[in-house]
């Protein structure tokens, strides 16, 4: 499981150390396998020693804020009433027809967004890159053509054979353009020990550390984003110039190439400067001196000038940038507001659906006659989250929401709220909406919205199997749903 919370990993690590006190861990395989002592000790070092220990020294201010944020949201998740009475009975018979109303006035809605949430916005244009073959073909092309600085910020930079192939491509890029790579320390550590579904070539030996591999015989600069107070940086942004960037859900690893269904967006125009600012901020935050850099009287400006001026981009439109950051929950607030204001449709595709407030708002929307459709994966790559999805799907089905089961893992994070599109890195769970650093973008340009509608949602509805009856659930499923509220 590649994208579960850091708290889960730390607790798992502690349990594994306790279990390894027996004779079962005396085998040499325990230090190389996915469940070995080596992985356990590295997990405890990254999450415990670095994330909780040394971060107190390096991040005395921001670390305290993140610890308070982590604590309050965790307590809140357990105090939340959860599904409550929503799980009882079948409410489908007395619902109004779905999708017959005229959609909301998007211009009015965006004015409401600007007044209540105040997201940053700039002009730009969005085109979609769906699934690994399409995305990584384009990514490789941009790496080869790059002459301006390239910044890569990911949650996971894996160390499987495909990740090594992309690392080699970045090394080639660094011969003709400056390259910086940022990735989440704990997320990448755990991914590196999790075998993909399809085995690598028999002769392949993974590098011990992808950061060292990237830096070897190249000029690439690498920083690991530390898990301060067990929080993560879940954002995926790659910038190529002042007017070209990628944002979405894909990391670098074999799952994203060929095993999972996923989505990235290529963004052009002035809005890229806002995405570049996110990467620059993360780069500075990952500095070895942490918070103390702000006390330096003459800090070196780490922003790198571009080789060429950004070209003008035709056909641009407003794009808004939403974030999750400490005690600033723009993404969650935008989702709530969009569901509340939708009049015709709410279509959502997301692998991790644990936020009970969103479920309640979706049920209220269906009662208003909104066409509510949810696409979930057949397997959410973690048992507790798959069980949660089953329990949540049963509740939504009972309230007239259409549930589509994608035939493999879908890692897509996308929503259509009437004619307002919302995509990015955020899952519909506590970690993405309240704890981890995330970035989403939103837009309402008719042609761009139509592309998301036709190339993603309508295609995935056809590919998926719609549930005609509620999924069978038991006490384990509902217990998993309660536990997943903390994830």
Give the domain CATH number at 232: 3.30.870.10
273 and 332 in a single domain? The answer is: no
Q: Are 92 and 112 members of one domain?
A: yes
* 298 belongs to a structural domain: no
- Spatial neighbors of 440 by CB under 8 A, at least 6 apart, are 321, 322, 323, 331, 334, 413, 422, 423, 424, 425, 426
Question: How far is it, in rounded angstroms, from Cα 343 to Cα 371?
Answer: 8
**Residue span of the structural domain in which 38 resides:** 6-76
The pLDDT value recorded for residue 4 is 52
Number of domains present in the structure of the chain: 3
- Bigger pLDDT: 18 vs 238: 238
User: Which pLDDT band, with edges at 50, 70 and 90, does 300 fall under?
Assistant: low
385 and 447 part of one domain: yes
Q: Do residues 458 and 474 share a domain?
A: yes
Position 386 confidence tier, pLDDT thresholds 50, 70, 90: confident
Q: Give the contacts of 37 (CB within 8 A, at least 6 positions apart).
A: 16, 17, 20, 25, 30, 31
Q: Hey, what are 79's tokens?
A: 């105090």
pLDDT band per the 50, 70, 90 thresholds, residue 82: low
What is the reported pLDDT for 308?
Answer: 56
pLDDT given for residue 410 in this prediction: 97
Residue 334 belongs to some domain of the structure: yes
Kindly report the average pLDDT of the chain as a whole number: 87
User: pLDDT tens, 169-216?
Assistant: 999 999 999 999 999 999 999 999 988 888 889 999 999 999 999 999
Domain assignment present for residue 223? The answer is: yes
Element (H, E) at 473: none
Q: How far apart are CA 487 and CA 482, in angstroms?
A: 10
Q: In this structure, are 417 and 357 located in the same domain?
A: yes
106 shares a domain with 56:
no
Q: List the structure tokens of 405.
A: 């089961």
User: From residue 458, how far is each of 179, 266, 383, 455, 462 by CA, in Å?
Assistant: 38, 20, 28, 7, 6
Strand-pairing partners, residue 402, are 373
The answer to whether residue 327 sits within a structural domain is yes
For residues 174 and 110, membership in a common domain is answered with no
Percent pLDDT > 70 in the chain is 85
Tokens 């395989």, residue?
29
The answer on 48 and 173 residing in a single domain is no
In a domain, 299, yes or no: no
| End-to-end Cα separation, the chain, in angstroms | 13
Quick one: 281 and 238 in the same domain?
A: yes
Residue 283 lies in a domain: yes
369 found inside a domain? yes
**Vertex 485, ends 7 and 385: CA angle to 5°?**
80
| Rounded Cα gap, residues 212 and 337, in angstroms | 44
For the beta carbon of residue 88, count every other beta carbon within 10 angstroms: 10
The pTM of the full predicted model, rounded to 2 decimals, is 0.90
- Residue 208 is given by DSSP the state S
Instruction: Please provide residue 469's backbone torsions phi and psi, each rounded to the nearest 5 degrees.
Output: -145, 160
Q: Are residues 45 and 32 in the same domain?
A: yes
* Domain identity same for 311 and 323: no
The pLDDT of residue 1: 44
């Amino acid at each position: 499981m590649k994208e579960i919370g850091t708290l889960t990993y730390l607790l798992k690590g502690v349990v594994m150390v306790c279990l390894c006190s027996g004779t079962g861990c005396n085998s040499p395989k325990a230090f190389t396998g996915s469940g070995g002592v080596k992985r356990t000790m590295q997990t405890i070092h990254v999450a415990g020693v670095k994330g909780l220990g040394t971060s107190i020294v390096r991040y005395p201010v921001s670390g305290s804020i993140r610890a308070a944020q982590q604590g309050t949201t965790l307590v809140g998740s357990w105090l939340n009433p959860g599904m409550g009475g929503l799980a009882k009975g079948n409410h489908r018979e007395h619902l109004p027809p779905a999708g017959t109303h005229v959609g909301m006035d998007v211009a009015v809605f965006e004015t409401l967004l600007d007044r209540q949430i105040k997201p940053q916005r700039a002009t730009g244009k969005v085109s979609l890159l769906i699934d690994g073959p399409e995305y990584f073909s384009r990514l490789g092309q941009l790496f080869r053509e790059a002459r301006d600085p390239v910044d890569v910020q990911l949650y996971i930079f894996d160390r499987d054979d495909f990740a090594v192939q992309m690392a080699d491509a970045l090394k080639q890029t660094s011969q003709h353009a400056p390259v910086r790579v940022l990735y989440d320390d704990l997320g990448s550590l755990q991914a590196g020990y999790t075998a993909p579904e399809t085995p690598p070539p028999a002769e392949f030996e993974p590098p011990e550390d992808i950061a060292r591999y990237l830096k070897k015989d190249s000029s690439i600069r690498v920083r690991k984003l530390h898990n301060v107070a067990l929080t993560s940086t879940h954002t995926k942004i790659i910038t190529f110039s002042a007017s070209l960037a990628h944002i979405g859900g894909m990391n670098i690893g074999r799952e994203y190439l060929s095993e999972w269904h996923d989505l990235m967006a290529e963004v052009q125009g002035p809005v890229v400067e806002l995405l570049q600012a996110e990467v620059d901020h993360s780069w500075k935050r990952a500095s070895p001196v942490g918070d103390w850099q702000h006390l330096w009287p003459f800090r070196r400006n780490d922003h790198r000038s571009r080789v060429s001026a950004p070209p003008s981009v035709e056909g641009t439109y407003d794009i808004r940038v939403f974030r999750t950051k400490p005690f600033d929950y723009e993404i969650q607030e935008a989702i709530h507001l969009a569901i509340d204001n939708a009049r015709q449709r709410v279509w959502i595709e997301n692998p991790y659906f644990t936020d009970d407030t969103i479920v309640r708002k979706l049920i209220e929307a269906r009662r208003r006659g909104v066409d509510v459709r949810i696409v979930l994966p057949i397997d959410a790559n973690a048992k507790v989250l798959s069980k949660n999805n089953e329990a949540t799907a049963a509740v939504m089905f009972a309230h007239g929401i259409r549930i589509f089961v994608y035939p493999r893992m879908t890692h897509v994070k996308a929503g259509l709220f009437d004619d307002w599109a919302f995509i990015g890195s955020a899952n519909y769970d506590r970690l993405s909406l309240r704890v981890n650093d995330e970035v989403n973008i939103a837009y309402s340009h008719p042609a761009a919205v139509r592309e998301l509608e036709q190339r993603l949602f309508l295609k995935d509805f056809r590919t998926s199997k719609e549930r005609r009856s509620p999924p069978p659930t038991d006490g384990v499923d509902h217990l998993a749903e309660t536990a997943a509220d903390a994830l």
